[in-house]
Amino acid sequence: MSENRYQSSDMYTITITDGIPQNSSEERYLQLMEKFQQLYGQHASYICRAPGRVNLIGEHIDYCGYSVFPMAIDQDIVALFSINHKDHEINLQNSDKSYSESKFNTEQFDIRKQFPLWDDYFKCGVQGIRDKYPNTKLKGMNILIDGTIPRSAGLSSSSALVVCASLTTAIANNITIEKNDLAELCAECEKYIGTQGGGMDQASSCLARTGSAMMISFNPLKVVHVLLPVGCAFVVTHSLTEINKAATDHFNTRVVECRIGTQILAQSKGLDWRKIRKPFELQEALKLSLSDMEKFAVQTFHLEPYTVDEICALLGVTVHDLIETSLGPNTKHVQQFELHKRLRHVFSEANRVLLFKQVCDSTVHDEQSLHTLGELMNQSHYSCSKLYECSSSELDELTAICRESGALGSRLTGAGWGGCAVSLVRQDKLDIFIKTVKEKFYDSNTQRANKGQQSIFATLPGCGVYVVKL
């Protein structure tokens, strides 16, 4: 039934299957195809599908140039579409009616940065294809989106939508694109929404393989597929608070704190600091270990936040120059910068990713291996909470309850400030763990009660993007 049009074993190309692949959500797809027919009066020609991800360890370090360790989840965004033969007209509808219908022209559209709506993420994906293939006059399409990833919860619903949009646009215009290129293109074009992310989400969605977690490195983008130790399970729990990253400046402030901290460290070593923007680039230039980089940051920065004037004095620039070289339009209003805590988090978290992978790679996995992985996850949460300050009281409470309920490790996942946590649990303790967390976190609180059912789920490493030709 599922004949691959491209070589299926080649991880670099996107698999296009003819007809709905076996073992996929056939019933969901059939219902969506019927809905598409009702909405547009024509058959859908393709389904593009992009998964969300859960990051196991390595938070807020992709944009610093460091490797991260996520895996794709089964929850996804799918786009059903067909060409509509109207000049460049995109009609966009969502199976969830809380997302209102949208119509725009592929030749001319704006992406809202301040308070983006859902169609702005789709436009980012279209813009990514326009940037890479500027001479292609993009065709008009009728599109129906359906998503199962909890939104604004750190499981990357935004990037799954952007990847789906780019993929849809590519397929509709007969553009063949490799997965690596799609991941890089989407990492760039999602920035049109205003958040300066690092590329983990788009790479996980594009390059995941069933059964393996992945260590993703950047510049150049590289994925190593890693088998997780037998006997461990990962459970995602929602704190039932959410935050839209593009509607607040928390995220971009962290990005510039890392950049400015790096530039001050570079300047203190007599390097051309304007050319160095990421902690990883500085580490390469200095040829120091991650723990030496952490020591260097701790010795250099005081614990109190830095003012703009103090930073300008250290770098020998005017405020205008600082805005031009390091801050940019999104964060030019920020007055105080935490450098000590943020850089400590980055270097120690980058090291934890390496240690986590080392344990997964080792040939012997015993009780101690699972404990080490769990301990690394706990340290990561602590660092996110106390140094990077991207947790929330709900996430701190939830991860503590997860640990009390038998998790070997528990941490926030994704950008934080709300959203989900991920816990490492022994496979044989999974049922009792889920039952206990439901009782303690969800059912014990009237506002959270009844939401426990969808808010806690065990997850296995899922597959990356694919396209179904209908």
Question: Residue from 13, 91, 158, 180 that binds Mg ion (CB under 5 A)?
Answer: 158
Name which position in 415, 421, 422, 434 contacts ligand NG1 (CB under 6 A): 415
Neighbouring residues of 414: CB distance < 8 A, sequence distance ≥ 6: 54, 55, 59, 153, 154, 155, 156, 420
* Share in percent of the chain as helix, strand, coil (round to 5): 45, 20, 35
| Active-site residue, from 62, 119, 120, 201 | 201
Closer residue to ligand NG1 (CB): 55 or 459: 55
Q: Closest Cα partner for 38 from 104, 102, 100, 93? A: 93
* Six-digit token string for 373: 């992985």
Q: Is 15 one of the binding residues for Mg ion (CB under 5 A)?
A: no
DSSP string for 218-279: TTTTEEEEEPPPTTEEEEEEE-S----GGGSSHHHHHHHHHHHHHHHHHHHTT--GGG--SH
Phi, psi of 171, deg, nearest 5: -65, -45
Q: Is residue 348 involved in binding ligand ADP (CB under 6 A)?
A: no
Q: Which of 48, 79, 161, 422 is in the footprint of ligand ADP by CB under 6 A?
A: 161
In which residue are the tokens 């389904």 written? 47
Residue from 102, 152, 262, 455 binding ligand ADP (CB under 6 A): 152
Please identify the residue of the shown chain whose CB is closest to the bound ligand NG1: 197
118 binds ligand ADP (CB under 6 A): yes
* 3-class DSSP assignment, residue 75: strand
Q: Is 121 in the site for ligand ADP (CB under 6 A)?
A: yes
As a whole number of angstroms, the distance between CA 351 and CA 128 comes to: 33
Task: Choose which of 150, 374, 409, 414 interacts with ligand NG1 (CB under 6 A).
Answer: 414
Residue 272 annotated as catalytic = no
Closest CA to 170 of 160, 181, 159: 181
Residue 102 engages ligand NG1 in binding (rule: CB under 6 A): no
- Return the number of the residue (163 or 297) whose C-beta is nearest ligand ADP: 163
157 lies in the binding site for ligand ADP (CB under 6 A): yes
- Residue 153 is a binding residue for ligand ADP (CB under 6 A): yes
Judged by the rule CB under 6 A, the positions of this chain that interact with ligand NG1 are 55, 59-60, 62-63, 154, 156, 158-159, 190, 195, 197-198, 200-201, 245, 414-415
Judged by the rule CB under 6 A, the positions of this chain that interact with ligand ADP are 77, 94, 96, 99, 118, 121, 145, 147, 149, 151-158, 161, 244-246, 414
Catalytic site positions: 201
